[in-house]
Copies of this chain bind each other. A is one copy, B any other.
Amino acid sequence: MSKGPWLDDDEQKAWRSYLLMQRTLETHLERHLQRDFGLSKSDFEILVNLSESEHGRMRAFELGRSTQWEKSRLSHHLSRMEKRGLIRKEACESRYPEIVITEDGLAAIRECAPAHAARVREFFVDVFGPERFAMLGEAADEVVEAVGKHCETDCALGS
Q: Which residues of A contact B (CB under 8 A)?
A: 1-7, 10-11, 13-15, 17-18, 20-25, 28, 51-56, 68, 106, 109-110, 113-114, 117, 120-125, 127-128, 132-144, 146-148, 150-151
Contacts and interface: CB of A to CB of B under 8 A. Distances in A.
Contacts of A141: 17, 21
Interface of A is mostly: helix
B23 A68 contact: yes
Contact of A146 (B51, B117, B127, B150): B127
Among all A-B residue pairs, the 3 with the closest Cβ atoms: A14-B137, A21-B140, A17-B140
A146 B123 contact: yes
Given A6-B114, A121-B7, A147-B28, A136 B14 contact: yes
